[in-house]
Structures are given as C-alpha cells and as structure tokens.
Structure 1
C-alpha cells in the first residue's frame, strides 16, 4: 500500500516522459544488440572500438556543453537562445579541428580500421550532438511531451536502417549512411517544428551565434565531469582494444550494451529532475527539494534493484535470450556489472544533488580520482584476466564512487 501511495503522487508528466523516453531508447539499445547478432564478432568489435574512440573525441569537441546548458538554462530561461547560439558556434569551430586531428591520429592507433567507418561514425555523432542540444532546450522549458516525440523519432533513425540491413543484407557502411541521412532529416524537421511552435526563437539563436570566451571556462567542470565519466565508463573498452583482441572487446561490449540500456531508467529520471532540483536550490526551496529527492530515490530503488538481481541471478539466460549462444561466455562479466548497475543508478541521484547545488567542481574531482584509479587497476587486471578483469576493476571503483558521492551529497541537503 505504501508503494502504491507513493506512485500515485508521481508527476503524470514524468510517467509519460519515462515510458516514451525509455521505450524509444530501448529501441536504440535493441539496435546495438541486433547489430551484434548480425555482424561477426570481429566487425562488431571494430564498430564498438571506433564508436568508443570517437565518443571520447567528441567530449573534447563539446566540452561539457550539453550538461552545462541544461544547468544554465534551468537557472534562467531568458538566456536559452543566446547561450544556444554561443554553444553551436564553439562546437562547430572545435569540430573542424577535431575532424582533422582524428583523421591524422586514428591510423596509428587502429591501422586495421578503414577511413570510411571512422568518417561515417564521426558524422553520426555530429548529428547526435544537435539532437541532444534540442532535447536539452526542450527539457529546460519543461516541454517533456515534445522531448518524448523527439526521442521516438530519434529511435526510428536507427530502427528503419536496421530493418533495411536485415532485409537487403547491406554492409555496415550502408547502414550508417542510412542512419546519417534520416538523422539529418529529423534534425531539420524537429527544429522547424519547434521554431514554428515558438518554443525556439531562431532569430535569438542567430544573434547569439558568436564566440564567447567565457563559455569554455564556465563549463570547464562540466567538461571535466563528462570526460572523467566517459573515461570511467568506456576506458575498459579502449584499453581492451589496445591490450587484447577485437574478439575480447566484443565479449565485453555486448554486456555493456545491456548495462547501458538499463541506465536509461536512472538517466531519464536524472534529466527530468535535474532542472527542477537546480531551480529549487536557486530558490532555496528545500521542502520541494526533499520531496523530489525521495521520489527520485524510491523510483531508482524499486526499479533498479529488480533489474540488477535479474541480471545477476540469470546471466546465461539473459545473454541467450538477447544474443543466442554467440556470447554465452560473457556471463561472468554480466554478473559483475549487474552490481555496478545498481550502485551507479544511485549515483545518478547523488550526482544530481552535487550538480544542482553548484558543487560541480567537487563532483568532477571525485570523477577524476575514480577514473584514474580505474585505469591504473586495468593496466594490471586486463593483461591477466581480460574482459573479466576490466569488469572487476569497474566494480571496485564503483563502490568508491558511490561512497564519495553519498558522503558529500548528504552534506548538501
């Protein structure tokens, strides 16, 4: 009865947002799973390696801009369009540099991977950034129905090309070309829809389209936080790609695909509640803040405990249902990372408290420490234990991250 009463008090917008957001992103995650089934282990390992490597590059091309934008937009809605223009200007300028550097450097790291695959994934991530920016603008204005529509359309940009891939037997490059074309069409149509609906003032965005040197130093702790979070979450794959074989990368990547898909639940809650928590901290309304905190916490505990226990208790069954027998040897990795899933889900709440309270510098410092420790442990664990070693180091450092986040977030409320 107590749980039922708590769910009755939930914001209906949150429920609709979570269902549509998680549903659409589930389709995106399913695309990755089906790609793993369709491609050979070697090809899927290469695809994962390039995606992970370029994901790191894009951290530098958009140094914390998205989360910084969400934080600043939530504080003052009047500056959204101006800041949006400034962020786009800096992103485009950095992309030119980033593209050139990527093309020069990557052959030395991964000589066995083709230029075409790198360029296509670069373009895909480029368009992903614009979709994330539009999503952030709509979230900061509490237009969650619009966000839900955007996420549904976004999932279709991957699902439709995947259907064509299976039906016609296209290669990976043709699949990516179809994804890019559909993503470009979607970005244009969504932007026009929001401009016509007067949710985005394009004239003000154009006025703000200029270089503002204060943006980068203002967003530096969001950049450090994003970089360290990415290194912490993805360094395992990058280090496996350098220290082992594409087959070992594939074994680990299929499990992280499942775990990343499960993170959609706490991530959706984080994106929904962070603007509200930021506003409450600015207004010093701690009564509302505590209400949001408990709602956030209860949702995570109820949903993520059950999912984590399912993955831990039945790893072979889950892997067999999703991938067939192809990756059944990854079951130990899944058992270990199910514990990481539970702990990190709670970190979404404690991390949101730190960010909303203006303690982003502290949060980024914690992430630096944990990310560096994870890399150091991987240097010793991966050569000896392979993908399982990477999973163990992640679990150890996740316990530390959880403890530090919890300790410092308790002091903020």
Structure 2
C-alpha cells in the first residue's frame, strides 16, 4: 500500500513538472510572438504615424476606436468559458468549437452594424465611415480565432503564433510598400483587413495539420444558450472595458479635434504595447488555475496569488523607466509633431499596473461564477472614466484623458473589489500581492 502511494506521488510530481514545462513553453511562444509584433509593429507603426501626420493618424485611430468599442460583441465574451469547457470536456470539443464559431459570426454581424451606425451619428465625413466599415468587417475573420481557443486549452499556442505571425509579416511588408508608394489613408485600413483574413487561413491550415477537421464542428442550440447565459455579463463587461479604453479617443475627437487624437494615440501606442504581457501569461496559466480549483482550494488561491505578485512586479518594471524617459522616447520615435505625447505617456503608462491586475483576476471571476460582478466593476469604471473625461479633457486635453484612464482602471480592477462581500477575498489577495506577501 505504501509502495502504491509513493508511485502515485511520483506520477503526480512528473505530471506537475510536465504541466509546468508545457506552460513555460507555451508562454515562451506567446512572448516570442508578442515581442516580434511589438518590435516590428512599433517600428512600422511609428513610420505610418510619421507618414500620415498627427491629423490623419488621429482620423485612423478614431475609426479604430469605434470598431474596438463594439468588438466585445463579436467575441461575445466566450473565450475563457470555452477554454474552461474544453479542458473539462475535451471529448465534446467539436460541438463546443462549432457552436462558438457560429455565435461569433452572429456577433460579428451585430458589431459591424453598430460600429457603422454609430459612426454615421458621430461623424458625417465619408472617409471615417469607410474606415470603420472596412476595419469592422475584420470581425468575421476573427471568428476563426475559435481554433486558437482549442490550442490554448491544450497549452499549444505555438500553432496560433506561426499562423498569425506569417500574416503579420506579410502585411507589415505591404504597409511599408504603401508608405513608399505614398498610398492614401484608406489603404492602411485594407491592409489591416487583409492581415485578419490571412491569419484566419493560417489557423485553418494549422488546425488541419494537427489532424482535426472543421467539417466535424457541430452547432448545438442548447449549448449556445448555456454559453450565452454564462457569457452575457462578460459581453457587457467587455463593452464597458472598451468604453474606458477607447472612449477617451472618441471624446477627444469630438471635444478637441483629430490632431489631439493622433497625439494621444502616439502615447497610448507606447503605453499599451505592454498589455500583451498579462494576456500571454494568463492564456498559458489559466488552464492550471482551473485545474487547481478541482484539486485544492489552497492550491487554487496560492496560484492566483503567485500570478498577481508576478504581474505587479512586471507592471512596475515597465512603468518606472517609461515615466522618466517618456519625453525622450516620443521625440525619438514620433518626432516634434507629437511632442505633447510625452506627458500623456508618463501618466497613462501607470494604468498598466491595474490592467495587469485585472487580467490576472479575470479567471477567478469565471471559476467562481461571478461574471455578473465582473461586469459591475467594469461598468462603474466606465462611468467614472466618461465623467472624468467630460470634465478633464476641455481643461487638460490628452493629459486629462490619461488621468481619467488611470483613475478608472484603478477603480475597476482594484478598489471596486472592496465594495461587495463576495469579492473582498480577492481584494485582500490583491493587497497582499501589492506588498509582495505570500497568501
């Protein structure tokens, strides 16, 4: 009997080590993907910003803000729920993937309609409306990201990385060609759409190479109903997140002008480029957190605490040097036309502390079945952001928008957890993680 227990302990340890190696390898692939994208996209993005100038760059980002505002409707908040379901019931993955795909197609139609409709209401110029229409059409291609959810559940994101980076490199070369040919602004929107289309094709090829077939995907009305019943708070939560991430650009465009949007976008491009870090790490770690919940409550919270402490450390490592070097970085990359972006960057980059924290706690809300409270926290954050933008933008312009973003992120991802009795447990864990205390 004692011998059997020892064998089981050894097998468990080997399995744990194997899982850890898979997480590290998967995270490595995701980091390689994001670092490549960060470096290349930053270089080409800066080149595009210099080529277009602050005003046209502002128009382009204004259109992208409209599309991003409704993007949670195209994804329907399903990603974390679908990954969890595949981990718990892998034998039913074809039905889960098929149902998810068609739900996302339906969501893409609604997202496109809302984005274009609101663009008509806010802007009368045809260029902005065409930009929104082209960029929002990408939601249909992003439905094929359903394949990526399977790879994430298996901690095999390298297939997604290869597929999407192939498309990314091709379109990067296309963007460079557009600059050298002095192409009009709308051509860069088409380039974005082409990238999403090529990425979808790449994912389908990777799925087939792995021995799977999309032909086996099945639609289930009852499963769709259950998925939407669980995800609707996440849809609303995603919408409110987009409000306090993108409404600043829309309000700047309406209250100050396109050039202010361009300058602000230059700062946020540098600040938000780091947001890939929590997403990459959590997509690899979350399956182990879901599994830990089934094994032990203590292990479950221990892993969440470790993740939070690590995220806090990374965000501080990013924010501190960016604060002191913001003016130099903006001048070196974007030039004198974007000089005002330095002060915006120095403030906006500190929102990353709470963005990292928010991503790290998102799996807790899913596992605990508290997605409705996740929505509530982001709704309050969005309202605070809109109100602060309304008062701060007329006085401080882009700097005011950055201050509003920082305060609203802090409230949504941290302080709001102290309000409800069910979220105080994660709030206490967040406090301990901020001072790097073990759970």
Fold equivalence (TM over 0.5): yes
Per-residue CA deviations over 1:77-129 (Å, capped at 9, x if unaligned) read 233321222222233234345444544442231112424322221223432x2
Equivalent residue number for residue 48 of structure 1: 61
Q: For residue 396 of structure 1, give the secondary structure of its aligned residue in structure 2.
A: helix
Unaligned residue ranges in structure 2 (runs of 5+): 1-19, 419-423, 430-438
Q: Is the 8 A contact 1:124 1:176 kept in 2?
A: no
Change (3 A) 1:382 1:264: same
Q: How does 1:167-186 map to 2 (within 5 A)?
A: 167-186=180-199
* Two-structure CA RMSD over aligned residues (Å): 2.7
Correspondence for 1:349 among 350, 355, 360? 360
Q: Is the 8 A contact 1:13 1:144 kept in 2?
A: no
**Cα displacement (A) at 1:298:** 4.5
**Cα displacement (A) at 1:53:** 0.5
**Cα displacement (A) at 1:385:** 1.8
Correspondence for 1:409 among 423, 426, 431? 426
The structure, 1 or 2, with the larger RCO (C-alpha pairs under 8 Å, 6+ apart) is 1
Change (3 A) 1:320 1:116: same
Q: Is the 8 A contact 1:21 1:152 kept in 2?
A: yes
Equivalent residue number for residue 379 of structure 1: 390
Per-residue CA deviations over 1:305-362 (Å, capped at 9, x if unaligned) read 2210011111111112221222111221111112212232233223333333332222
Equivalent residue number for residue 315 of structure 2: 304
Equivalent residue number for residue 135 of structure 2: 121
Per-residue CA deviations over 1:1-43 (Å, capped at 9, x if unaligned) read xxxxxxxx87531452243132233134544333222212111
Q: Is the 8 A contact 2:54 2:338 kept in 1?
A: no
Q: Does 1:60 align with 2:73?
A: yes
Change (3 A) 1:188 1:293: same
Equivalent residue number for residue 228 of structure 2: 216
TM-score if structure 1 supplies the norm length?
0.87
Unaligned residue ranges in structure 1 (runs of 5+): 1-8
Q: Does 1:150 align with 2:167?
A: no
Taking the aligned partners of 2:164 and 2:117, their CA distance within structure 1 comes to 34
TM-score if structure 2 supplies the norm length?
0.82
**Cα displacement (A) at 1:132:** 3.3
Q: For residue 379 of structure 2, give the secondary structure of its aligned residue in structure 1.
A: helix
Q: Is the 8 A contact 2:286 2:363 kept in 1?
A: yes
